[in-house]
Amino acid sequence: MTPFGEKLRDLRAERSISQKDMAKAIGVSAAYLSALEHGKRGQPTWDKLQRIIQYFNIIWDEAEELQRLAMISDPRITIDTAGLSPAATELANLLAARIGEIDTDMAKSLIQKLKTLPEKRKR
């Protein structure tokens, strides 16, 4: 499951909405919605994301949070380390090879550590 899929499932559960009913209302199949929730589909298109936001009638911060979660929820991410240090390439490969062994607490710890890195300015 992706962060977006988890939030989507939570929103439906809070409002007691079935996948079938929501799928019909936003113009997708229940199978697509299920795959999106379970991380078997990539990020929703901008149009579908806007339909989801409108369906739940969420605004401002909550809508921005849902958009942010969609942006970080690609279940098939590719990391291009060309031009980076050998250590960066090793890190990417180790993470890819061992991601399944990382428990939730370790993942949260790594996420927090990465979030503390200063953002690189683009030229």
33 C-beta neighbours (distance < 10 Å), count: 25
Query: What pTM was computed for the model?
Result: 0.73
CA nearest neighbour of 88 among 66, 63, 70, 114: 114
Q: Which CATH class is domain 3-71?
A: mainly alpha
pLDDT at 122: 59
Query: What are the structural domain ranges in the chain?
Result: 3-71, 86-115
pLDDT at 114: 92
CA nearest neighbour of 46 among 59, 63, 58, 62: 63
pLDDT at 16: 97
pLDDT at 74: 86
Q: Which residues of the chain have pLDDT under 50?
A: 123
pLDDT at 120: 77
